Amino acid sequence: MFSLALGKEPIHAFTWSNTNTSLYYATRTSWTNKSESAYKNEWKDVIEHRDRDRGDTIYRVDFEDLTQPRIEIVTNISLRVVELICSSDGKRLVFSTESRSRQIESMEDYELYSLDLINHSPFTSIRLTNNQAIERNLKYFNNDFILFTVTGEGSIEGEYRDTQGRLYSLNVIDGGIHRWANQFTGSITNYALLEHGQQDVIILGQLNTEVQVYTQQSPTSPLIKQTGWNGTYEKLVTTYVGNLSRIAFIHSSLDTPQEVYFVNSIDRLKTAQIVTKENEIFTQRNLPKGKSYRWLNKEDGTEIEGLLLYPPDKFEQKNLSLLILIHGGPYTARLNAFRSDWYSCAMMIATEDWLVLQPNYRGSTGYGDEFLHDVIHEFLSRPGKDILYGVDALIRDEIANPKKLAIGGYSYGGYLTNWLITQTTRFNVALSGAGGVENVVDWGTNDMPISNFYFLDGFPWEKPDRYQREAAIFQLDQVRTPTHIVTGENDIRVPVAHSYLLERALYALNVPHKLIVFPNEGHNIDRNPWHEKIKIREELKWLHKYGHICVSTCEESLLSNGTN
């Protein structure tokens, strides 16, 4: 092991050549010392918005002589490199790009490019794609084809339109693109290659609440579902050494904690051997049990599915205290999987004697593209009704106690929480995490304004009524529910201004509330483990304090009976 001085700028993408001792990496294009000094002298600590952003430089390091590695510039580009991959014959480098600021404002910033590493004078990048999608998870599967996924970030086939996860292959010679598993109605979550792509492609596909394993030999061949365990497969990887395949993956279900498994053949998944016992302690505890639960949105007849987690020793009992825990996204779903962390906290809350419903409302993956598209133009009101009809169903089935209802969620789940407490007073308590309340502020300050444009069908000045109609801020005078709010100080996905707006409104309305701001945290609370613990601790305190106290009379009629 040895160190290598590569300049001041941090590396954010790299790859090895498969045929020689070369390493390729990308950094932001460096300034000369003279240029940097001149800029600082002129601007001091003032920030030039946009103008300060720079594109990338791709470098090659030759390690043939380890005592004197040679570094050379391959190319400069005006965008930021996201991923780099090298063909197996070492002749071509392919990379994906994003905007220099990393703000998703224009799809023109997100394309694939290639560099001919053999016939160059000098290196010139060639644009391979020209579409309205963000390509991710690049892999070569022979020298002329690469695979990539697109998940809820535009469309390969035409104008911008979000879809469930899809898998594509691109011919880097003629530019032809083909979709794999095109008859699969769910969402592709990941993929891997068997024998470096000489055999099948392994595809992980989500359908409803399950993620199962599929294989396909080519885009036109049948998609074959492999026989495995119920639940969720994830993070599947393969190796191929000495004509022998090795496959490793993580598997879990609601009653089986996550562990790593190993198998030699993809068609023998049920014989996989467990490799780790990191979560064995959960098998020794009396944990919540769960099951699928379905209901109808009686307004349009759409069937909605969710997962119910019952408190320990109370499986399928009646008249339980209910928490609706709403997932973020919206392009994700709650799965038949074992999760227990600050975000996926249903298991922990159920152990505190709450029945937890995790609804896969309109916009969730795994239920078809039309189900996903149904949130367009009504990205709060429609999924909000899906959720309220689920509460109705649980009350009618006498599973939930109508006097002990709570609601909460993080990110998009926070948006929906903030929205729903303006629509009804049936919830005794609310847990709002990094949730939005106002769409113009959101469009102007978050890092992916293209989503606001897409969901609301235009800019704020083009659709002012819709921007207002689908925003909680203009209906916050209806809120009576004690609300606990958390946010990261540096969040730019759902800017912290939303939480301050909500807190100030609740303060003015004299509604019980509390705002907690985690310092130095972004949208994902992952910089300090104590912040994760404190979030759960304080939310549980709030549930215990207000969860069993009715906001109104606790006799509010069901949504399906024509009120609220």
Q: Are 89 and 18 in contact (CB under 8 A)?
A: yes
pLDDT at position 564: 43
Average pLDDT over residues 530-535: 98
Kindly state whether residues 245 and 324 are assigned to the same domain.
no
Tokens 């990379």, residue? 95
- With bands split at pLDDT 50, 70 and 90, how would you rate the model's confidence at 405? very high
Residues 161 and 299 occupy one common structural domain = no
pLDDT at 27 (0 to 100): 96
Q: What is the pTM of this model?
A: 0.94
Averaged pLDDT, 49-54:
89
- pLDDT-based confidence at 344, cuts 50/70/90? very high
pLDDT at 354 over 90: yes
Confidence (pLDDT) at 4: 65
**Residues 384, 311 within the same domain:** yes
What per-residue confidence (pLDDT) applies to 562?
A: 46
According to the model, what pLDDT value does residue 2 have? 57
Beta strands in 183-255 (DSSP E): 187-193, 201-207, 210-216, 224-225, 232-241, 244-253
3-state secondary structure of 449: helix
Considering the domain architecture, whether residues 354 and 216 belong to the same structural domain is answered as: no
User: What's 29's domain CATH number?
Assistant: 2.120.10.30
With bands split at pLDDT 50, 70 and 90, how would you rate the model's confidence at 563? very low
pLDDT-derived band at 64 (thresholds 50, 70, 90) equals: confident
Long-range contacts from 525-534, C-beta under 8 angstroms, 24+ separation: 525/342, 525/343, 525/488, 531/342, 532/341, 532/342, 533/342
Count of residues in the chain: 564
CA proximity to 387, closest of 313, 310, 322: 322
Indicate if 166 and 91 belong to the same structural domain: yes
220 and 310, same domain (yes or no)? no
pLDDT per residue over 270-307, tens digit each?
A: 999 999 999 999 999 999 999 999 999 999 999 999 99
- Shared domain for 257 and 359, answered yes or no, is no
Quick one: 30 and 159 in the same domain?
yes
| Domain match, 256 and 120 both | no
167 in the same domain as 229: no
Q: How confident is the model at residue 245 (pLDDT cuts 50, 70, 90)?
A: confident
Last residue of a domain, one of 130, 154, 180: 180
Residue 51: phi, psi to the nearest 5?
A: -65, -20
Burial of 554 (0-12, 13-18, 19+ CB in 10 A): middle
Rounded mean pLDDT, 231-255: 93
The pLDDT value recorded for residue 559 is 63
Cα–Cα distance, 372 to 368 (Å, whole number): 7
**Can you tell me the distance from the alpha carbon of 558 to that of 391, in angstroms, rounded to the nearest whole number?**
9
* Domain tally, the chain: 3
Confidence of residue 561 (pLDDT cuts 50, 70, 90): low
**Angstrom distance (rounded) from CA 330 to CA 333:** 8
User: By the 8 A CB rule, do 134 and 145 touch?
Assistant: no
What is the predicted pLDDT for the residue at 554? 59
Q: Where are the beta strands (DSSP E) in 302-354?
A: 302-310, 320-326
Identify residue 501 by its one-letter amino acid code.
Answer: L
Mean predicted confidence (pLDDT) in 511-540: 97
Mean pLDDT of 67-88: 92
Q: Are residues 194 and 51 in the same domain?
A: no
Q: Among the three residues 248, 264, 285, which one is the final residue of a domain in this structure?
A: 285
Cα angle value 426/429/432 (rounded, 5°): 115
* Residue 33: other Cβ atoms inside 10 A: 9
Q: What is the pLDDT of residues 137-186, one digit of tens each?
A: 999 988 889 999 999 999 999 999 999 999 999 999 999 999 999 999 99
How far is the C-alpha of 212 from the C-alpha of 245, rounded, in Å? 20
CATH number, domain of 343, equals 3.40.50.1820
Higher pLDDT, 556 or 284: 284
E-assigned strands of 364-442?
400-410, 429-433
**Can you give the pLDDT at residue 192?**
96
Mean of per-residue pLDDT scores for the chain: 94
Cβ distance 485 to 493 under 8 Å?
Answer: no
**Cβ(335)–Cβ(186) below 8 Å:** no
Asked whether the predicted pLDDT for residue 498 surpasses 70, the reply is: yes
Question: Per-residue confidence at 346, pLDDT binned at 50, 70, 90?
Answer: very high
- Token pair 């300060």 is found at 52
Last residue of a domain, one of 180, 198, 226: 180
Better-predicted residue by pLDDT, 123 or 545: 545
Q: What is the percentage of the chain residues whose pLDDT exceeds 90? A: 87
Burial classification of residue 496, based on how many CB atoms lie within 10 Å of its CB (0-12 exposed, 13-18 middle, 19 or more buried): buried
The tokens describing 185, both together, are: 């109605």
Cross-strand partners of 71: 61
Residue % of the chain over a pLDDT of 70: 97
Domain that includes residue 119, residue range = 1-180
Do residues 480 and 404 share a domain?
yes
**Reported confidence tier of residue 428, pLDDT bands at 50, 70, 90:** very high
